Amino acid sequence: MKVAIAGNPNCGKTSIFNSLVGAHRHVGNYPGVTVEKQTGFVTINDISVEFIDLPGTYSLTAYAEDELIAREFLINEKPDLIINVIDTINFERNLNLTVQLLELEIPLILVLNMFDLARDRGIYVDTKQLQHMINAPIVPCIGHKKSGLYPLREALTKFISTPHQKNLPLKISYGVEINALIQNLEEKLNHDLLLNQFPHLPYAKTWMIIKLVEGDPEIKNYISQNTSSAKDYFEEIAKLEKHLSITHNDTLENIIGEYRMGFANSLTKSCMTIPLLSRKTVTDKLDLILTNKVLGPLSLLMILGLVYHFTFTLSAYPVSMLESFFGLLHDLGTTYLPQGIIRSLLVSGVIDGVGGVLSFTPLILFMFAIISFLEDSGYVTRIAFLMDRILRTFGMHGNSILAFIVSGGISGGCAVPGIMATRSLYDKKERLATILTVPFMNCGAKLPVYALLIGAFFPSHQGIMMFLITLLSWFFALIIAGFLRSTFLKGEAAPFIMELPLYHLPTIRGIALHTWFKTWMYVKKAGTFILLASIIMWGTLTFPFPTTTNLKNFSFNNSNEYNLNHSIAATIGKTLEHLTKPITGFDWKMNIALIGGATAKEVIVSTLATAHSMDTDNTTKLGEKLKNDPDWNPLRAFAYLVFIMLYMPCIAVIAVIKKETGSWKWGAFSIVYTTVLAFLVSTLIYQAGTLINCTI
């Protein structure tokens, strides 16, 4: 038995899904697309029930990829039951989808989620009256607290016990003229069915005719392909469309939508009591400041500044402790392991390489904790609201902001889910422009690199520097997006509608779970992929470039510095140094770290740590080594930071770009244009700084 869980975005349906299936879940993809599909199996009354958490959608007339997936599943897969989750506070707006689901003639259970928040605001829902009016079971619920799950399971059990019981089809009046048209077309459809015009009718008849009258492309195509009298259907619809255009100056689709909303409004008035609020809520008071045209952006800048200040301040001591711990391991390895390949691998490749990345775990943890607090409180959606006006200047709109934030717009995200988040964008050109620019954001992989260089060269202004890097990443992302949208991805920005959720105090448990999961993924990546990359980079920094002289003179009895300077990496890096050193100031070790960073940006830290570990036997912290290195100074460090911010995405992001765009050419384009841009900008910074004798 299949049970689909459907609802508007941000209505809490995933909380309901998680509560129902617990740990018995599976994450896959819908056939033919990369949209994530969450399913879970639970046995009820000896019957295996598959729950499917559908992507959020406002309507069954959908355009975005994830919304189309929800519609296609409901129509083509024909689940045995729909659990429609609605946000009780936004009851009337959520009912627009409920009405369309009821027209599908699939059994439905309506879950009134966030019932506690509605109750706290004095909102009362007459569930008995609502159940009578829509002829479907009603279950009040508080998803995140798992309250109301028992009545929901009871309703599920009752349905499973009587599987052939169906809701009576919902009949809505769309006005005399449209009702008459729907009735005429239904009669014609029944006649065509008797004549076997349709080999198989995959839709509920009434719903199919209503969508045909609305001008649904899929239904129109189905009629055209399966009946010789398709012209008769379309002529009747066109006749009424023309009449309504003259008499009402409106379209059939708009009028039907207005009648649906009118029905939802009638249900709301009949079943819901809403108090006259004599005072503003906490959300209203906060939004007077945080979404204000002037105070809102200023508040955002102040909040970001505080985020970075507290992150660097709180993490300073634990980061220093971890660096000392890995320094101790370095000493132990150097003291007790005999000189040779094993000691070099373990000390320089593993302890210094991976340790250089793991040392910044506390910083990552604090950053994720603060970002999780902002996300769970409801503030991140306000950032999208504030940025919409700015993005429109560059041919984008507020929906794109969510992809940027997920990618690391505040810091600590990842471009992979950020690119996937662009599925909510309707316009393909705008979506492509967003996909090509979200890699500029400060993802979690870049954070240890930023922390290393900022801590080493700008120790007194760490929060300010991180704030500056964030502003620069947004600046370049918007400039490039604006260029793309004004040239070969030209188009008008789509209208932006976003629901601003209520502010609420995040739970400690929720923040802890989010922070633990993201931090564990960082540590796990360091212990697996980064470890492998560090070993590979150690090999290129250890073994000689294959020339006769190098191979003849190579020995682990040589000094580390000698082997390092004649290694594969050194030869490649020094070749590139002829170009980069005079232009950008990057030495060969910087170049090799950037090559390693193409796999994952954390590898830049591990490569620098390995290279500088082999260059000297002292256990000075990596930041101090860079600071004392004559090839480094604050100007070069800043140019290097900007290069890392802008240059090619990691291989995982490139693979996702290919999947989402359907072509390798956009993945290749993202490699070339970002690297060229990074080279030009870092050159400009270094040359301008050198010209004015600036060391920052």
pLDDT at 22: 72
Higher per-residue confidence, 493 vs 162: 162
pLDDT at 558: 62
Which pLDDT tens digit goes with each residue over 639-663? 999 999 999 999 989 999 998 888 8
**Any bridge partners for residue 48, and if so which?**
43
CA distances from 588 to 451, 579, 611 (A): 21, 10, 10
pLDDT at 618: 60
Share of the chain above pLDDT 70, in %: 91
Which pLDDT tens digit goes with each residue over 517-552? 888 988 998 888 889 988 998 888 888 888 877 777
Angstrom distance (rounded) from CA 567 to CA 550: 8
- Estimate to the nearest angstrom the gap between the alpha carbon of 447 and the chain centroid: 18
pLDDT at 457: 93
**Position 496 confidence tier, pLDDT thresholds 50, 70, 90:** low
Instruction: Give the lowest-confidence range in 41-55, 499-513, 682-696.
Output: 499-513
Share of the chain above pLDDT 90, in %: 24
Side-chain half-sphere CA neighbours of 537 within 13 A: 38
Nearest Cα residue to 275 out of 140, 126, 124: 124
pLDDT at 437: 93
Q: 3-state DSSP call for residue 127?
A: helix
Angstrom distance (rounded) from CA 346 to CA 323: 16
pLDDT at 639: 95
pLDDT at 30: 41
In what helix (H) or strand (E) does residue 112 lie, and over which residues does it extend?
Answer: strand 108-113
pLDDT at 680: 96
Angstrom distance (rounded) from CA 617 to CA 626: 15
Interval 626-635 mean pLDDT: 90
Angstrom distance (rounded) from CA 362 to CA 169: 57
Which amino acid would we find at residue 513? L
Instruction: Give the lowest-confidence range in 123-137, 233-247, 257-271, 421-435.
Output: 421-435
Interval 469-477 mean pLDDT: 94
Phi-psi region of 114 (alpha: psi -120 to 50; beta: other; left: phi over 0): left
The residue behind tokens 């717009």 is 409
The residue behind tokens 């970075």 is 308
Give the max Cα distance, the chain. Answer: 95
Identify whether the C-beta of residue 17 lies closer than 8 Å to the C-beta of residue 5.
yes
pLDDT at 31: 43
Check whether 576 has a pLDDT greater than 90. yes
Angstrom distance (rounded) from CA 179 to CA 175: 6
Angstrom distance (rounded) from CA 421 to CA 562: 49
Nearest Cα residue to 584 out of 629, 638, 636: 636
Check whether 47 has a pLDDT greater than 90. no
Identify whether the C-beta of residue 667 lies closer than 8 Å to the C-beta of residue 657.
yes
pLDDT at 28: 44
The residue behind tokens 């140094």 is 577
**Any bridge partners for residue 2, and if so which?**
50
Q: Give 214's DSSP letter.
A: H
Check whether 578 has a pLDDT greater than 70. yes
Which amino acid would we find at residue 301? L
Q: 3-state DSSP call for residue 281?
A: coil
- Residues 368, 369, 370, 371: is their CA dihedral positive or negative? positive
Instruction: Give the lowest-confidence range in 60-69, 81-90, 492-501.
Output: 492-501
Side-chain half-sphere CA neighbours of 315 within 13 A: 28
Nearest Cα residue to 683 out of 594, 582, 591: 582
Check whether 220 has a pLDDT greater than 70. yes
pLDDT at 691: 87
Which pLDDT tens digit goes with each residue over 204-218? 788 888 888 988 888
Q: 3-state DSSP call for residue 356?
A: helix
Which pLDDT tens digit goes with each residue over 262-280? 888 888 888 888 776 545 6
pLDDT at 395: 79
Check whether 171 has a pLDDT greater than 90. no
pLDDT at 505: 80
Higher per-residue confidence, 315 vs 507: 315
Interval 173-179 mean pLDDT: 86
Q: To the nearest whole number, what is the mean pLDDT of the chain?
A: 84
Check whether 176 has a pLDDT greater than 70. yes
Check whether 465 has a pLDDT greater than 90. yes
Interval 242-246 mean pLDDT: 87
In what helix (H) or strand (E) does residue 125 lie, and over which residues does it extend?
Answer: strand 124-125
**Any bridge partners for residue 142, and if so which?**
147
Please report which residue ranges of 227-294 form alpha helices under DSSP H: 230-247, 252-271, 282-290
Tokens matching residue 265: 């409004």
CATH 3.40.50.300 fits 2-161, yes or no: yes
For the chain, give every domain's residue range: 2-161, 176-273, 299-691
pLDDT at 585: 92
* Contacts (Cβ under 8 Å, ≥6 apart) of 605: 356, 357, 360, 448, 449, 452, 622
**Any bridge partners for residue 544, and if so which?**
567
Q: Looking at domain 176-273, which of 1.10.3470, 3.40.50, 1.10.287, 1.10.1740 is its CATH number? A: 1.10.287
Angstrom distance (rounded) from CA 42 to CA 497: 36
Check whether 423 has a pLDDT greater than 90. no
| Residue 28: Cβ within 10 Å count | 9
Q: Beta strands 36-44 and 25-29: pairing type?
A: antiparallel
pLDDT at 497: 63
Interval 426-450 mean pLDDT: 89
Which pLDDT tens digit goes with each residue over 583-606? 999 999 999 999 999 999 999 999
Does 176-273 match 2-161 at the fold level? no
pLDDT at 472: 95
Instruction: Give the lowest-confidence range in 156-170, 312-326, 514-528, 673-687.
Output: 156-170
Which range of 64-78, 145-159, 276-290, 581-595 scores highest in mean pLDDT? It is 581-595
Q: 3-state DSSP call for residue 272?
A: strand
Check whether 473 has a pLDDT greater than 90. yes
Interval 12-21 mean pLDDT: 82
pLDDT at 518: 84
Tokens matching residue 269: 């008035």
Tokens matching residue 453: 């260089």
**Any bridge partners for residue 567, and if so which?**
544
pLDDT at 694: 62
Angstrom distance (rounded) from CA 446 to CA 341: 31
Check whether 359 has a pLDDT greater than 80. yes
* Contacts (Cβ under 8 Å, ≥6 apart) of 117: 88, 89, 502, 504
pLDDT at 27: 44
Beta strands in 475-601 (DSSP E): none
Identify whether the C-beta of residue 592 lies closer than 8 Å to the C-beta of residue 572.
yes
Identify whether the C-beta of residue 408 lies closer than 8 Å to the C-beta of residue 394.
no
Higher per-residue confidence, 233 vs 65: 233
The phi and psi torsions of 416 (rounded to 5 degrees) equal: -65, -60
